[in-house]
C-alpha cells in the first residue's frame, strides 16, 4: 500500500512578515538587517529563489544600492551546487579561479586577479612597497587590509559570471565590487558614522518608525492613542494596528482597575466587566475593522462598474503590493479604488 507524504503548508506572506519582524530584533544579524524587517524579508524571499535557508540567505545576500549581491563564499557554493568544479588558489599578490562546467568538461574558464590589475583599476596603490587604499577620512579600505581575500573574491565572481551565470540567479557581484566597505569574509560593515543620522548607511533601507516598540514603551492609553493615529496615517499593516490597539486596551484596563492585576484570571465582581470593555474600546482609537470593510465595499463597487472580477483585484494587489487583497492596508485599498475610478 502506497503511503502519502503529508507536506507542511507553505508559510503565507503574513507568516514571513511576522518571522522577519521577530528576526530583525536579533543583535546577531549582520548590521544591514538589524531593526530592518523589510531587508530581512527581501533576503528570505531572494533566498527561496536560490533554494537557500533563511539564515544562509541573510548571511550571504546583501543589497547594495538596490542590487542583490553575494559573498564570494556563497557564489562559490552556488557554482558547486550546480555541479560545476571550482578551484581557487592565490596569495596576497595574485589569485586564480578556474571553473569546469559539468556539461563541458574539456574547457576551463579561468579568471586571474593580481595586485597590478587592482592598481590599474584604481582599487589600491602601492607606496614604498606597501599597499595603500584609504577612504575620505583616511581609514584603511578592504584592499589595504585584506588583499588576499579581495583578490580571491574578484577572481571567483568573475569566473562564475563567465562560466555559469545561470547558477547565480541574478546575483552577479560581491558587495565590495559595488563599493561596499567589507570585512575579510566579504560581508558589508557599518561604522558608527554611517549608522548615525548625519550620514546614513548607503545600502540600508530607509529608517522607519517602530510604532509597535513605541506602544510597548508607553505608560498610558493616551500616548498609545497618538501612536495608533500616527501608525494609521503611515498605512501600517492591520496586524500592527491591532497589536497597538490591544496594548492600549491593557493600559486603559489597568488604569480603570489598578487592583485587577492582583486578581486571578476570571475572578472579580463580574458585574462591570462588560462596562470596562466598553470604556476600553472608547478610550483607544477604534480598530480598523469598520473602516476596512467600508474601503473594501467601495473597491468592490467600483470594480463592479468596470466588470473587474475579485480574482483580478487579488492579482493586482499581488503585483503592486506583493500581498493578497485581504492583507492590504486601508490606504492601499483606497488607492486601488482611485485607480479603478480613473480607468476609462
Stretch 109-116: mean pLDDT = 97
Question: How does pLDDT run across 40-93, given as a tens digit for each residue?
Answer: 888 888 888 888 998 888 888 888 877 889 999 999 999 999 999 999 999 999
Q: Which of 48-57, 95-104, 210-219 has the highest mean pLDDT?
A: 95-104
The pLDDT of residue 81 is: 95
Q: Which residue has the higher pLDDT, 49 or 317?
A: 49
Per residue in 116-133, pLDDT tens? 999 999 999 999 989 999
Q: Name, of 17-31, 301-315, 330-344, the range with top average pLDDT.
A: 17-31
Grid cell digits, residue 22? 521577530
Higher pLDDT, 326 or 181: 181
DSSP 218-283: --SHHHHHHHHHHHHHTT--HHHHHHHHHHHHHHHHHHH-TTGGGSPTT-S--TTHHHHHHHHHHH
Mean of the pLDDT values across residues 258-268? 47
pTM across the whole model? 0.53
Q: How far apart are CA 271 and CA 253, in angstroms?
A: 15
Mean pLDDT for 219-232 is: 85
pLDDT score of 235: 66
Average pLDDT of the residues in 248-272: 60
Length of the chain: 344
First to last CA, the chain: 59
Q: Which range among 2-16, 210-224, 267-281 has the greatest average pLDDT?
A: 210-224
Give mean pLDDT, residues 161-178. Answer: 91
Least confident piece of the model among 7-21, 99-113, 245-259, 275-289: 275-289
- pLDDT at 168 > cutoff 50: yes
The pLDDT, as a whole number, for residue 8 is 65
Flag whether pLDDT at 286 surpasses 90: no
Question: pLDDT: is 98 or 297 the higher one?
Answer: 98
Q: What percent of the chain has pLDDT over 70?
A: 78
Confidence band for 258, pLDDT divided at 50, 70 and 90 = low
Instruction: Give percent of the chain above pLDDT 90.
Output: 28
**Using 50, 70 and 90 to split pLDDT, how confident is the model at 211?**
confident
Mean pLDDT across the stretch 286-295? 63
Amino acid at each position: 500500500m502506497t503511503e502519502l507524504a503529508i507536506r507542511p503548508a507553505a508559510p503565507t506572506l503574513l507568516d514571513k512578515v511576522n518571522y522577519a519582524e521577530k528576526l530583525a530584533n536579533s543583535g546577531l544579524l549582520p548590521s544591514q538587517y538589524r531593526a530592518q524587517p523589510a531587508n530581512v524579508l527581501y533576503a528570505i524571499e531572494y533566498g527561496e529563489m536560490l533554494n537557500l535557508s533563511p539564515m544562509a540567505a541573510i548571511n550571504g545576500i546583501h543589497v547594495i544600492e538596490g542590487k542583490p549581491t553575494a559573498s564570494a563564499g556563497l557564489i562559490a557554493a552556488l557554482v558547486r551546487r550546480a555541479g560545476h568544479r571550482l578551484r581557487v588558489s592565490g596569495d596576497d599578490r595574485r589569485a586564480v579561479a578556474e571553473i569546469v562546467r559539468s556539461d563541458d568538461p574539456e574547457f576551463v574558464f579561468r579568471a586571474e586577479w593580481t595586485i597590478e590589475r587592482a592598481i590599474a583599476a584604481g582599487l589600491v596603490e602601492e607606496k614604498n612597497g606597501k599597499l595603500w587604499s584609504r577612504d575620505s577620512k583616511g581609514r584603511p579600505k578592504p584592499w589595504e587590509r585584506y588583499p588576499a581575500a579581495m583578490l580571491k573574491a574578484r577572481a571567483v565572481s568573475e569566473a562564475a559570471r563567465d562560466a555559469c551565470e545561470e547558477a547565480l540567479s541574478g546575483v552577479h557581484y560581491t558587495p565590495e565590487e559595488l563599493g561596499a566597505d567589507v570585512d575579510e569574509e566579504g560581508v558589508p560593515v557599518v561604522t558608527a558614522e554611517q549608522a548615525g543620522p548625519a550620514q546614513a548607511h548607503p545600502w540600508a533601507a530607509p529608517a522607519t518608525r517602530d510604532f509597535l516598540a513605541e506602544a510597548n514603551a508607553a505608560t498610558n492609553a493616551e500616548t498609545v492613542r497618538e501612536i495608533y493615529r500616527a501608525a494609521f496615517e503611515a498605512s501600517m499593516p492591520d496586524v500592527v494596528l491591532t497589536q497597538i490597539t490591544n496594548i492600549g486596551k491593557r493600559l486603559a484596563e489597568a488604569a480603570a482597575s489598578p487592583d485587577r492585576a492582583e486578581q486571578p484570571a476570571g475572578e472579580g465582581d463580574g458585574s462591570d466587566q462588560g462596562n470596562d470593555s466598553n470604556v476600553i474600546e472608547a478610550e483607544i482609537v477604534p480598530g480598523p475593522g469598520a473602516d476596512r470593510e467600508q474601503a473594501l465595499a467601495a473597491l468592490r463597487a467600483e470594480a463592479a462598474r468596470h466588470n473587474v472580477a475579485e480574482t483580478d483585484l487579488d492579482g493586482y494587489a499581488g503585483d503592486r503590493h506583493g500581498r493578497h487583497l485581504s492583507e492590504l492596508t486601508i490606504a492601499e485599498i483606497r488607492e486601488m479604488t482611485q485607480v479603478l475610478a480613473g480607468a476609462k
